[in-house]
Structure formats: C-alpha cells, structure tokens
C-alpha cells in the first residue's frame, strides 16, 4: 500500500466496506493505530476485553456479591452508596501511604498467583476449547439471536455458545449439543448441569388453528414486540379497553416463560402511556387476567386486560377487581 493512499484505503474500508457481526474489527484497528501501527495478540485481546460489556457485567456481580460485601459488611473497610464504593478514612492517607498500600495489594496478588497458578481463572473457563466462528454463527442464528433460557436478544446482552452436556462429561461440539445462552444465564449454569433449554425458544412459534388470537386480523394490532401484541377489546368495558396477548398459543398466564412476562409488561407499559396521551380523562387502570374456566376465562389463549378508568365511570369504584365476586367489591 503506497503511503499516500493509506488513509483513503483505511477510511474507505471503515466507512463503506466493513461488514460487522461484532465490534472486533474497529476495536482492533484502534489498537493498531494507537500503537504505531502494530500490536501483539495479547494487547489486541486486552483491548477487546475492555469493550466487552458481558465481562464488565460479570465482574460487577463479583464486586457486589463477593468482594464488595466482604470489604463493606464483614470488615467495615469500605462503604457503599448505590453503585459507588468508598474507603473509610481515605482522606487521612498521605500519597506515600496510598502508594505503599497499592504495593502491598500488588504483592498479595502476585503471591496468590504464584501459589495457585492459572487455576484461579478456572471459573471463567466454562466450556474450554475453541468453537469456530462459523459454528458459533450457526448456533446463534438457529436461536434467532436470543438466549434460549431468558429470551434476551443479542443486542441487549452478549450471547455465548454453551455445551448442553459439558465437555468435562464427554459432551461434543456437535450442533445438537450446543445452545445459545446469554452471559448471565450461562454463568448461573453449573459445569455439570446438562439442561437443554432449546425447546423454550422453539415454543415461541407455537400457534393453534382456529384460535381467534393465533389467527388475529393483522389490521387490529395496535402495537407489538417479538413475543406479544396488543389490540383493543372487541367488547370493551370502557373506551380504549386493551388486550395484551402473547403470540405463542398458551392458555394459562401462569405458564408463560419469563421472557413473555417481560414482553407483556413492556408492551403494557407503552400502551398505558399511549392511552393516557390519547385521553386526558383517564385517571386509573384495572389490570386483570382470567386464568381458568372458573375464573371466567372464555378464550383459552392467555391475554391480559388493560382497562382505563375515569372518574365517575361507576358509582363507587372502591374495591376494584374485588368486584369479580358479586357482593365482595365493597368492604
């Protein structure tokens, strides 16, 4: 590459030709540019690590639940205010004393590493060995770029490829033994846990012929996300009475997966705000679910009622949802 063209070639590649499946390419280029045009593999790896939010989340949990708890509660050496930790009496330390204490801590770290070796990082080697980028891509694509346990998307939290049967127990790298889990779910999964979560993700596509919600007229949908949608109730008890409905065909609210609970709540929050903007007279809401025939359920595809309330829409609103049992609303 001629010297005069270096900038134009690189800027053109970055602006127009770079195809990204992650942040790695620009992060590596930054490291090369900051270090005179060259950097060894370890330095590049460190630069990528700094930008890996999932690693930061992991060590945030270590700080809050382990080391931070020891230093604040057990030893009273530090205090915590929300997400900030402060050393007790730090203002009384001289610069020389601070430097000496840092040296002491560094010596403790070196002594511990000398004694224990690489084993101290074994908890981070959940699935030792290399999984090719192509195989990783296939597994994440199969999972629709969502954690197959909690359902969070790859845009929200970094996903990892997990061995269902761990390698330590003879598990292979065959795609049938691999699943996509977000960092948090994978961290909670013990090394000898061989639970297969793939069926959860697949279940979101379940629909039932003849179900009025599975076959809903798309023109009725007023809002949706990946796991649920909202419509106005066809027989609303008040104006703008709205239903939030999981896309998966499931009859009982209590059988929803956690991602569906999250999706329903998120969509309901948005629809509530929208209703309040549309009608300034709305001063309250009833939220309800009929779960089972004896609870009044007539359409056996789970749905949540969001019912706007206005002053004076009933003679006496006291007791609210207690009114599902005649005579029990007032108390």
Q: Which secondary-structure segment (H or E) carries 115?
A: helix 95-116
Q: Are 241 and 307 in contact (CB under 8 A)?
A: yes
Q: Are 192 and 166 in contact (CB under 8 A)?
A: yes
Write out the two tokens for 21.
Answer: 């499946």
C-alpha separations of 64 from 52, 84, 125, 157, 310 in Å: 19, 10, 21, 19, 44
Write out the two tokens for 190.
Answer: 């013990």
C-alpha separations of 29 from 9, 86, 132, 145, 179 in Å: 13, 36, 22, 26, 31
Query: 141: closest CA among 164, 167, 159?
Result: 159
Query: Using a CB cutoff of 8 Å and minimum separation of 24, what contacts does 314-321 make?
Result: 317/284, 320/286, 321/286, 321/288
The single-letter DSSP state of residue 206 is -
Please report where in the chains the tokens 């992650």 appear, as a residue.
22
Please report where in the chains the tokens 């694509």 appear, as a residue.
141
- The residues carrying an active-site annotation are 303
């Amino acid at each position: 590459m001629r010297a005069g063209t270096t900038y134009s070639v690189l800027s053109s590649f970055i602006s127009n030709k770079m195809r990204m499946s992650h942040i790695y390419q620009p992060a590596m280029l930054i490291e090369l540019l900051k270090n005179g045009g060259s950097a060894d593999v370890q330095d590049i790896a460190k630069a990528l690590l700094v930008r890996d939010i999932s690693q930061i989340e992991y060590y945030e949990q270590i700080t809050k639940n382990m080391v931070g708890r020891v230093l604040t509660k057990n030893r009273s050496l530090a205090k915590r205010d929300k997400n900030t930790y402060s050393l007790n009496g730090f203002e009384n330390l001289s610069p020389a004393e601070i430097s000496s204490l840092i040296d002491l801590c560094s010596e403790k770290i070196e002594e511990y590493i000398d004694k224990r070796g690489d084993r101290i990082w074994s908890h981070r080697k959940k699935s030792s060995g290399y999984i090719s980028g192509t195989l990783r891509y296939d597994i994440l694509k199969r999972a629709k770029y969502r954690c197959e346990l909690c359902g969070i998307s790859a845009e929200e939290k970094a996903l990892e490829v997990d061995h269902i049967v761990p390698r330590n127990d003879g598990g292979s790298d065959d795609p049938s033994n691999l699943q996509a889990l977000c960092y948090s779910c994978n961290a909670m999964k013990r090394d000898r846990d061989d639970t297969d979560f793939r069926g959860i993700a697949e279940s979101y596509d379940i629909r039932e012929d003849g179900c009025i919600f599975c076959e809903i007229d798309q023109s009725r949908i007023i809002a949706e996300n990946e796991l649920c949608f909202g419509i106005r109730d066809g027989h609303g008890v008040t104006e703008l009475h709205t239903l939030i409905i999981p896309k998966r065909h499931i009859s009982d609210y209590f059988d929803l997966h956690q991602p569906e609970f999250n999706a329903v709540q998120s969509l309901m929050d948005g629809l509530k705000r929208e209703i309040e903007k549309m009608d300034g007279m709305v001063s309250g809401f009833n939220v309800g679910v009929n779960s089972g025939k004896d609870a009044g359920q007539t359409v056996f595809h789970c749905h949540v009622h969001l019912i706007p309330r206005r002053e004076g829409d009933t003679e006496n609103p006291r007791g609210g949802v207690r009114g599902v049992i005649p005579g029990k609303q007032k108390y």
